[in-house]
Structure 1
Amino acid sequence: MASIDISKVSKVYDGGVRAVKDIDISIADGEFIVLVGPSGCGKSTLLRMVAGLESISEGTVSIGDRVVNRIDPADRDIAMVFQNYALYPHMSVYDNLAYGLKNRKTPKSEIHARVQEAAKMLEIEKYLDRKPRALSGGQRQRVAMGRAIVRKPAVFLFDEPLSNLDAKLRVTMRGEIRKLQRRLGTTAIYVTHDQLEAMTLADRLVVLNGGQIEQIGTPLQVYHRPASTFVAGFIGSPAMNLLNGHAHGSTVSVDGVELSLPGLEGLEGEVTVGIRAEDLMIDAAPGNIMLPLEVDLVEELGASRLVHGLLGGQPLAAVLPIDAEITGRMGLAVDPARLHFFGKDGRRIDRGDASVDMSRAVRSTQPLMPAL
């Protein structure tokens, strides 16, 4: 096991194109880090630089106490699990698991013991004599993980390993990956574009956008305190509602709805108001703000209902109980303490940014309009 330090790392391709820009991440020994972001954000490129499959243009990557920039991938004490499994089709499962150990001249008795141990851990013992073509997608993925496990590396690297599986199997496999990593205690970096997968797996998330870090934090920190409108819109399902507003004094106006929020006196001009769909509710409590919604679509999700509509001229979505009464025009309540604010540059406005204690100020707000 080992810690990983990524310091000022950039990747510059021919023509001066920067795919990854000045990345700084310190990963503790045994930590599970997930790199998440849309296609083209640089997450796989960053992982491949840690693995040694891409050269590092600027900065350093250290695994344990070694700077590994100029060390071959085979000598970095890592094991990588790929999206396409990368199994040898002509070899049995046993031979696929044993192949890397044989190349390292590991004694046969130790190879056999490690393969059997990994096969038992992953419940693939009865498939050891089969070829990969005789396995299902989930079984192949277990073999790919087993090949990494038998190495007993300092670091696991996962490059979107579940993207070829169906939705049900992905849920099962991500749980198994997390339990396995905890049992082994091996440091892991995992790449995915699926924010739900990222939230359920990570000790910490690294949200990437355009080759740069938008935010690093635990899943709950990133969910409850997104650092930017990009993070707010990317993390969470459904995405956070982001409403254009105008701040003046202690009031924020959103399409004619006045949100009186003492404590925001330092804000002036354009702001974005963020509201999680699950923070909207039918029944108002004292101090809640009421928002008028013109409903135009209801999605039945079984355990809940996803209601889409307009607040003024801006789209708004709410997750409501399955028994909620939905009308064409209705009032939705939100606790002002759960509102998020972002400046014109898209960055989060927190307490201190406006020289106020936001958590105290918003809780004192009185309702501005009656339920409709």
Structure 2
Amino acid sequence: MASISLQNIAKVYPGGTKAVRDINIDIKDGEFIVLVGPSGCGKSTLLRMVAGLETITEGKAKIGDKVVNHVEPADRDIAMVFQNYALYPHMSVYNNLAYGLRNRRKPKDEIDRRIREAARMLEIEQYLERKPRALSGGQRQRVAMGRAIVREPEAFLFDEPLSNLDAKLRVSMRGEIKRLQKRLGTTSLYVTHDQLEAMTLADRLVVLNGGEIEQIGTPLDVYHKPASTFVANFIGSPAMNLMNAELHGNRLAIGYNVLELGSYAPVSGPVIVGIRAEDLQPYEQPGLTIKAKLDYSEELGAVRLAHCLIGEQKIVAALSPEEPLADELNFSIDTEKLHFFDSETGQRIPKVKEAAETNEAAQASGESLINA
């Protein structure tokens, strides 16, 4: 297995279009990294540059200790799983799995051992003599994964491998991919636009926007401390509530609501304030309550989503399905759960306590962020 290092990577197409800009990621040996972002953010282009299917305009890509910028894809010792399976329709499952190994002139008994082992892992032993057309979508995806596994590569690259599957099968295959990756311990780079898929699979997320990195972190770090309004809006379902507000001293005004924040207000003036739907509690608390008008609700079984308005600003609250609804609702706010963002740049504004914790961690590592 091997680490992957991307240093100042950029991709510029003829005509000057910059698909990827100044990407820096260090992927540890055995780590599962997910590239997530909307269509056109550069995630597939970045994956294809690691695979050698796209040339790197600027920067350096390393697999292990080897710089691979000008190494042919076949010589990079990686295996790729595609969205469309890419199976040979005229070959049996066994021969699909064996094809790449035969091209590399592996011994026959070695080929058979690898295929049987991968088939047991993926529970496709009974399908080895079938043709791809006789398999379901999930079975074909397992074969595509098996073809990558038998290679025993330094790294797996996944290019939206589950996007052709139905919702129930996607959930099942997510679990299989996670279990397999942990069992094999192979460094993996996975591309998806589905933030739920990204959250459930990743050791760390790389959130991309417009060809640049918005944030790198564990799924929970990204969820609980989004680096920007883009990340806050993209990660989480429903998305974080983001509202224009005014912060003066310890008083936060959101429309006609005024909250008393305590002693850790980060700035003064216009801000964007964020709060997750599950952090809106349906009861009143003096000085910590916002009032909103109910617009409509969605019944999802285990949860009820109440879509509300504060003036013209929309918020969503995740409530118990037994919670009674009225035309006007009161929500108690835990001020520790509020997030603040710069009203112009959209970048996160650390609260005083949060900034102090960051500085302590930085000082412990020999760096100081006090004046950053």
TM-score by length of 2: 0.93
| Contact 1:263/1:356, CA 8 A, preserved across alignment | no
Distance 1:218 1:356, change over 3 A: closer
- The AA in structure 2 aligned to 1:154 is E
Match of 1:322 in 2: 321
> Any residues of structure 2 matched to 1:6-155 within 5 Å, and which?
6-155=6-155
| Contact 2:258/2:290, CA 8 A, preserved across alignment | no
Match of 1:368 in 2: none
Distance 1:253 1:354, change over 3 A: farther
| Contact 1:264/1:354, CA 8 A, preserved across alignment | no
Structure 1 residue 311: deviation in Å?
Answer: 1.5
CA distance in 2, matches of 1:42, 1:105: 36
Any idea what SS the aligned residue of 2:348 has?
coil
Match of 1:267 in 2: 267
Greater CA drift, 251-260 or 16-25? 251-260
Any idea what SS the aligned residue of 2:281 has?
coil
Match of 2:369 in 1: none
Structure 1 residue 187: deviation in Å?
Answer: 0.2
Any idea what SS the aligned residue of 1:310 has?
strand
Question: Runs of 5+ in structure 2 lacking a partner?
Answer: 359-372
Q: Which runs of 4+ in 1 moved over 6 A?
A: 353-358
| Contact 1:297/1:308, CA 8 A, preserved across alignment | yes
Match of 2:367 in 1: none
Structure 1 residue 355: deviation in Å?
Answer: 7.5
Q: Deviations over 1:59-78 (max 9, x none)?
A: 00000000000100111110
Distance 1:58 1:353, change over 3 A: farther
Any idea what SS the aligned residue of 1:337 has?
helix
Structure 1 residue 256: deviation in Å?
Answer: 1.9
- The sequence identity of aligned pairs, in percent, is 65
Match of 1:313 in 2: 312
Match of 2:292 in 1: 293
| Contact 1:226/1:232, CA 8 A, preserved across alignment | yes
Q: Deviations over 1:189-216 (max 9, x none)?
A: 0000000000000000000000000000
> Any residues of structure 2 matched to 1:119-198 within 5 Å, and which?
119-198=119-198
CA distance in 1, matches of 2:77, 2:259: 55
- The AA in structure 2 aligned to 1:314 is Q
- The AA in structure 1 aligned to 2:267 is L
Q: Deviations over 1:112-160 (max 9, x none)?
A: 1100110111000111111111110000000000000000001000000
CA distance in 2, matches of 1:143, 1:226: 37
Any idea what SS the aligned residue of 1:40 has?
coil
Greater CA drift, 246-255 or 109-118? 246-255
Structure 1 residue 247: deviation in Å?
Answer: 2.1
2:330 maps to 1:331? yes
| Contact 1:266/1:355, CA 8 A, preserved across alignment | no
Distance 1:354 1:31, change over 3 A: closer
Q: Deviations over 1:141-184 (max 9, x none)?
A: 00000000000001000000000000000000000000000000
CA distance in 2, matches of 1:287, 1:35: 43
Any idea what SS the aligned residue of 1:109 has?
helix
CA distance in 2, matches of 1:323, 1:280: 16
CA distance in 1, matches of 2:162, 2:118: 19
Match of 1:361 in 2: none
Match of 1:302 in 2: 301
Structure 1 residue 289: deviation in Å?
Answer: 1.7
Structure 1 residue 281: deviation in Å?
Answer: 1.4
CA distance in 2, matches of 1:238, 1:295: 17
| Contact 1:288/1:335, CA 8 A, preserved across alignment | no
2:229 maps to 1:232? no
CA distance in 2, matches of 1:346, 1:112: 55
Structure 1 residue 353: deviation in Å?
Answer: 9.7
Structure 1 residue 351: deviation in Å?
Answer: 2.9
- The AA in structure 2 aligned to 1:299 is E
CA distance in 2, matches of 1:204, 1:27: 9
| Contact 2:215/2:231, CA 8 A, preserved across alignment | yes
| Contact 2:205/2:216, CA 8 A, preserved across alignment | yes
Q: Deviations over 1:306-337 (max 9, x none)?
A: 11010222101000011101111110112110
CA distance in 2, matches of 1:159, 1:132: 20
Structure 1 residue 266: deviation in Å?
Answer: 5.6
